[in-house]
Each structure stands twice: as structure tokens, then as C-alpha cells.
Structure 1
Amino acid sequence: MPKLRFSGFAEKWNKKRLDSFLERVSNPVDVIKEQEYTQIGIRSHGKGIFHKEPINGLGLGNKRVFWVEPNAFVVNIVFAWERAIAVTTEAEKGMIASHRFPMYLPKNNLSNVHFLRYLFVTDKGQSYLELASPGGAGRNKTLGQSNFAELKIDLPSLEEQTKIASFLSAVDEKISQFTQKHELLSQYKQGMVQKLFSQQIRFKADDGSEFGEWDQSELKEVAQINPKVKKLPENFIYIDLESVEKGLLLLEKNITLSEAPSRAQRLLSKGDVLFQMVRPYQQNNYYFNLDGQYVASTGYAQIRTELNSKFIYYALHEKSFLDEVMNRCTGTSYPAINSSDLSTIEIGIPCLEEQTKIANFLSAIDQKIEVVAQQIEQAKQWKKGLLQQMFV
């Protein structure tokens, strides 16, 4: 019995062979060479369906393809063990799927495909998929469709399946709403960065007067780049290029000086800005404002300024600055800029009061973005707990 059940349901979950409640549907496509087709793909970890770029029949060659059946349970037999499962929708009607993506519809009114989608992303569900995917080492495990059909799955009544699926769908919808809000706030922030640093939008002084003209200065004229360090501490938290994503410190590594990599050279002080020098277009830069001993990798340029350091941090994300960075980069797969070239890029510098107003305004947006990011993470963790408790 699951640990968490809706009231009104007390019946035992019964083991049923999968082919007793799901039946395979197969509608082959008679491919026409001149016609365009859109194929579906299935992401691992239950992350759903995506649509590939259209391709004509000639491009499909001799590939066996099938019309997508809407509202069907579908599995990628190559990555089933990695939870590459989904449910098709009306949006996929008229699209095609490879023979590697068998589709199934409910049989004998015993199953709800959305319930099964949630079931197969649980740890128990993954164990079922692994059981039906014998053979090869590593990632080379193909789902045996006869093995899949013979799986014995614990199922509640159709009514309880539907109740569980509807509830979890509502949780997913909430996560989707939070995610959309996060995206909109991020887009708004990026738009405001462009407008503020291009001076399309200007703040006024507290007394209502206009601020003066901005100066143009090379970065090295308003900041120290990679300030010298006499000695590193014996113990510190190391920040490497994998530690930061979109301004957030995601990973802290406590290490000793003796085990530290040679790139651990940037001893940080509050207000320092870290600029990602490898693949800078990712904009995984970081504003440091933490207590304790932190050392960053030489993969970052360390920027220290007497100006408003948060203003400098945001200035490094403005499009014209990033364009100048990319123009100075070398390498193709991993474009990188060196500190010397970075230091010669010009940025606009207003008076300190206007710097502060810009920094405070953008920081307030960042705080809102962070709150929504936390809501997304909390909702995902809640859903994870539900999945563990609502299934046998």
C-alpha cells in the first residue's frame, strides 16, 4: 500500500501484467518523398516530448515511421532505463515517430496513461524499465518489448489512478506557472539592463534633478583586475567554473591548500566580481558578498572596485560589453578572453548616486527572481516527495 492515499480509497493495489491494461497501437506511415514530416523525440527523466525540425520523405530514407497516436503512453526503447517516457497530446497529431518509440493505449478500461507516466518516473517505475531492458553494458540497454509487456505492475482502480494523475498534473501546472514567471522576470531584467546601460532610461536624483553625462572608461581605469595575493589560507571554499550558474553559487567545495588545484588563486573579498573568461557568453558571473574564506579559479577574472561594485557587476552583462568581450576571444569550441584584453574594454560610468540607483533597481529584480526560483525548487521537492509516497 502507498503511504499517502486520497480519502475514500482503501482497496488493495493489484499486480497486473502490463499487456492486460495497455495495448500497442501501430499505424505505419506510407512515406511520400516530397512531403514534409515532423518527428517527435522523447527526453529522458520524464521531461516530455519535443518536436524535431521538419524533414521530407526523401530525408527519412528507409526509416520505419508511424503516425503519432494522441493521448498515448510512449516510450523510447533505447533510453527507457533512463525514464525516457511520455504521453502524447493533440499537439502531436499528424506527426510521426520512429519505430524506436512504441505507443500504447489503455486496454479494458483498466489504466490511465497519465498515471502510468508518473508511475514510470518514480524509482520503482525506473526499476520496472530497467528490468525490461536487459543486455549491454553502460548506456547500451534496449527495452525488450516482450519483456515490457510481461511486467507485473501494482495498479489501483482506474478511479484512484485518475485522482492521482489529476492531482500530480495540478502540481506540474503550478511548477509550470512558476517557471513561466521566472522566465518573464529574467527577460524583463535583461531588457532593463539594456535600457539602463544604453541610457534609454535614466533615473533622477532624489531632489528631482537630472544626473550628468556618463564617462567612458576602460575597465582597468575603474577597477583592479586580479589583485595580488600574498598568501592563501590553509582552508577555504573553492569556486570553480562549475560552481556558478547565472549569478548563483550552486556548489561550494571545502578544501585545504595542500589539495587545492593550481588554478585556485583568487582570494575573494566582499564586493568582488567574478567574470567568467571561458565561454563568457554563458554569463555565469558572480557577485561575491559572503563571509568566510573563499578562493576562486583563475578561470575567472577577479574585479575589485571603489565604485559601486554591484553596478560594475551588472555592467558586465550589458550586450555591447559582451559583444566586445566576444570580439576579443580566441578559440572556437571554448572561446576565452584573457584578463589583459578584458581590462581594456570600455564601460559607461555615471556618478556614484546614479550607479547606486541602477544597482539597487536591478538587485530588487534579482531578489524577485530568486524568490520564484526557490518556489520552483520547493514545488519540485514537494512533487518528488509525493511521487515517493503515492505509489507502491
Structure 2
Amino acid sequence: MKTTTQKLTPQLRFKEFDGEWEQKNLGDVTKYIKGFAFKSEDYKNEGVRIVRVSDLGVDRIKNNNGKLFIDEDKASEFDKYKLRTGNIVITTVGSKPEMLESAVGRGIYIHNDNEGLLNQNMLKFENVKDVSNGFIIGLINSKRYQHYMKGIARGNANQANITVVDLLQYNLNIPQLPEQQKIATFLTSVDTKIQQLTRKKQLLETYKKGAMQQLFSQKLRFKQNNGSEFPKWEEKRLGAEVVSYNKKSTFNDEFEVLTSSNKGLMLQSEYYGENRLTERDNLGFNVIPEKHITYRSRSDNRKFTFNINKLGITGVISTYYPVFISKNGSSNFIVELLNFNQNYIGKFSVGTSQTVLSFNELKRIKFKIPCSEEQQKIANYLSALDTKIESVQKQLSQTQTFKKGLLQQLFV
């Protein structure tokens, strides 16, 4: 590849191509069909799938969504709405463009002929002579396109929409077909790597979930170093295993402000995009040293996520987040035990629309718990799996960042 600064040529370009790209509107290089408003009385439990707006992910059709179908015989009446390899699907409704996973105007490339029939509020771009839809989807994934969506989207954050007229007026720069195809092939190879890493991470997470099921049901037991059995697990209140940590911050910004969520424990600046709370200071917040556990004591769905401080720093966190540590065993084991028993723990929270699980109530809950030595073996095993998952996630994030950089440089 070589770099260039010409006006209508990309910053990064394959060396066998030169000359300026041609400026056109999206409507000039595409042929579209609007989705069909299928009737709910025709829905079946099996047959040919109806692809709805909610079925579209960031880059492909979801398979974990509740699927809708129509009879195969009836589906033949709607052949024009069938999704085929090489088609692009774009939503005309959704959330604001900033919310990428559900954004209005998001597009995906269809990789096979068996995805189903296109429902309403979406467009299908068919294959057109001298245009590579693999190239067009790269344009649609670019920041420039997302910025354009922000300008034409109407409505509120969760119910935005765009008109077909505005969409087709999107101005783009396009090279000759051979260069389009070269770029499309290159991006496809990057997408394949992303898909492989995503799948690898999912398999590791599934394996860990199965391992936890075996370990916490005691169907799988570790042995002591001398080969003998560990003692039987004992039913105990959690309070017998953990102790609270009650130190408070004594001045503002004494330590980094942290946030605990279902994504883990992280800097508040990473979670919210800023390093200070907007409405109050952090004087008197709970201090959370390394290897200590915390959780948000309020929940909208009776699920409470427990996180351990592995950030390598001492932080502070809102007083809504109790801080505690294992007395003599493994804090890593305690975190895994609590997160595995989320549904059970949620039953002890009190309230209606938002429930509360105080630390005192948490300590009263009974669990079957092994001795400290077996706790450590279980924690080490699960931590090793976490390390593998985190390694794959790091590779995945790096590849996704690499792709974003390519999209900025390969297109004008």
C-alpha cells in the first residue's frame, strides 16, 4: 500500500491503483427494496424466518433473538423480500446513531441465502452492476456515514427514524470496481478474524459457565496436594467467611473514583467518560483497596453483580457499594460463588420497582462453602479461565480498533 493526500483519493491505498475516485450519491449506486409488513396472524414457530429491525446486530443478524417465522409454502409469495448473499440491509428506525448496537441507519452485509425475509422499516440493497456491496458496507460502517446519520435522524433517543430520500442522498466517493473488490476482500479478511475471536471468546465463556456448574454443585471436586479428599462443604452464612471494610475517603480525589457494574470494576472516567461525579464530590466515599469486593446494593431486576478490585490501585466508590473481603479464604472464590448464585441472592433483596440488598442481609444468606484450601484451588482454576478470556478479548478489541482505523484511511 502507499499513502496519498490527493483530494478524492484515500489516505491508504493499494499500490496497484491510482487516479481519483468518483463522487456520487448512495442512490446512484444502489437498487433498494423496502421490507414488507408481515401480519402477526401469519407468524409460526418454524418455517422461513422473518428478519425484524430488532434482529439486526452491529454487523450481522442475531441468532439469540426470539425468532418469528412464516410457513415455507406462504414464503414463496414473498420472494422479492428474501435476503440473498451480497445484499445489504439498512434500518430506517432505531435509536439515535450514537447507540451503535441499535442505531437507526445501521447496516449489515448478508453472508448467505438462508437468513430469511425482510420485515418493514428496513431496506434491502441488491447487487448492482459495477458496484461491490462489500465496498458499500465499508462506507456504511465509517465514521463519516455515522456523522451523516446524526444529521438526518429525527425523533428521540430510543425512537429515531430516517427517510429513504435523505438516506439515498448520502454523498460518497467510489473507485472503479476492481479497487472496490480489493478493498472489500481485505475488509472481509479482517471481519473473519473478528468473527473467529468472537466465537473463541463465546466458547471459553460457555466452558467456564459449565465448569462453574460442575464445581459449585460439587460434581467436580479438587483433591489435596497429597491426593486425599478435601472435607465436605459446610453450609454457612456468608458472614462467617467475609468481613466488611469501612474506611472512608477523607478528602476529595484522595483516590481514583471507581464504578462497579455488570461489565466489571473500572475507573468512573472509563465508564462515564469523565473522572468526576457531576452532582457531588467524593468526600466520604467507601475506600476499596486491591483484592476487595464490592457490589451495587440497589437493583432494577433483583440481580446483583459482585466485582473484585484487580485494577492494581486503591480506589473510592459510592456508599451505595459495600466493600468487603474474605476473612481466611479466597476473595476470588467468594466473588465467583456470589455471581454464580445471582438468582438465589436476588430473592433476599427488598423493595418493589428498585430492590435493595444491604450488606447485613447479604451476610445472613446461607451457602455451601468448602475449606479455604479448596476455595483457593477453585479460584485459581477459574482465574486461569478468566485470563484466557481476557486475552482473547484483548485480541478482539485490538482487531476491532485496527478495523476502525482502516475504515478511516481506506475511504475518502
Please give the range of the TM-score, normalised by the shorter of the 2 chains.
0.7 to 0.9
Q: Tell me the residue number matched to 1:166.
A: 185
Other structure's SS at 2:10 match: coil
Cα offset, 1:13, TM superposition? 0.9
Q: Tell me the residue number matched to 1:317.
A: 339
Correspondence for 2:347 among 327, 330, 341? 327
Q: Tell me the residue number matched to 1:60.
A: none
Other structure's SS at 1:271 match: coil
Q: Tell me the residue number matched to 1:16.
A: 24
Question: Residues 78 and 204 of structure 1: is their aligned pair in 2 closer, same or farther, counting only changes over 3 Å?
Answer: closer
Equivalent residues of 1:39, 1:52 under 8 A apart: no
CA displacement, residues 339-362 of structure 1 (integer Å, 9 cap, x when unaligned):
222111122332322222111111
- Structure 2 distance, partners of 1:32, 1:318, is 38
Other structure's SS at 2:12 match: coil
Cα offset, 1:137, TM superposition? 8.1
Matches within 5 A, 1:96-107: 96-98=118-120, 100-107=121-128
Question: AA paired with 1:274?
Answer: T
Correspondence for 1:354 among 374, 381, 392? 374
Other structure's SS at 2:298 match: coil
Question: Residues 56 and 250 of structure 1: is their aligned pair in 2 closer, same or farther, counting only changes over 3 Å?
Answer: farther
Equivalent residues of 1:238, 1:295 under 8 A apart: yes
Question: Residues 343 and 94 of structure 1: is their aligned pair in 2 closer, same or farther, counting only changes over 3 Å?
Answer: closer
Deviates more, 1:110-119 or 1:142-151: 142-151
Cα offset, 1:101, TM superposition? 1.8
Q: Tell me the residue number matched to 2:246.
A: 228
Q: Tell me the residue number matched to 1:377.
A: 397
Listed as ranges, the gaps of 5+ residues in structure 2 are: 1-8, 72-77, 98-103
Other structure's SS at 1:300 match: coil
Other structure's SS at 2:119 match: strand
Report whether the alignment pairs 1:68 with 2:85: no
Question: Residues 353 and 129 of structure 1: is their aligned pair in 2 closer, same or farther, counting only changes over 3 Å?
Answer: closer
CA RMSD of aligned residues (A): 3.5
Equivalent residues of 1:40, 1:52 under 8 A apart: no
Equivalent residues of 2:302, 2:347 under 8 A apart: no
Q: Tell me the residue number matched to 1:276.
A: 296
Cα offset, 1:313, TM superposition? 1.8
CA displacement, residues 22-45 of structure 1 (integer Å, 9 cap, x when unaligned):
223468689795565724226789
Equivalent residues of 2:249, 2:285 under 8 A apart: no
Report whether the alignment pairs 1:336 with 2:348: no
Equivalent residues of 1:66, 1:96 under 8 A apart: no
Correspondence for 1:267 among 287, 303, 323? 287
Moved over 6 A (4+): 27-32, 42-45, 134-141
When the two structures are superposed, what TM-score results if normalisation uses the length of structure 2?
A: 0.78
Equivalent residues of 1:65, 1:97 under 8 A apart: no
Report whether the alignment pairs 1:40 with 2:40: no
- Structure 2 distance, partners of 1:287, 1:4, is 43
Equivalent residues of 1:18, 1:150 under 8 A apart: yes
Equivalent residues of 2:33, 2:81 under 8 A apart: no
Correspondence for 1:122 among 122, 137, 142? 142
Equivalent residues of 2:24, 2:174 under 8 A apart: yes
How high is the sequence identity, in percent, across the aligned residues?
Answer: 27
Correspondence for 2:230 among 208, 211, 214? 211
- Structure 1 distance, partners of 2:325, 2:40, is 63
Listed as ranges, the gaps of 5+ residues in structure 1 are: 58-63
Question: Residues 385 and 30 of structure 1: is their aligned pair in 2 closer, same or farther, counting only changes over 3 Å?
Answer: closer
Correspondence for 1:306 among 314, 317, 327? 327
Correspondence for 1:77 among 88, 92, 107? 92
Question: Residues 298 and 194 of structure 1: is their aligned pair in 2 closer, same or farther, counting only changes over 3 Å?
Answer: farther
Question: Residues 213 and 332 of structure 1: is their aligned pair in 2 closer, same or farther, counting only changes over 3 Å?
Answer: same
Q: Tell me the residue number matched to 1:345.
A: 365
CA displacement, residues 16-72 of structure 1 (integer Å, 9 cap, x when unaligned):
343432223468689795565724226789544457642779xxxxxx997234232
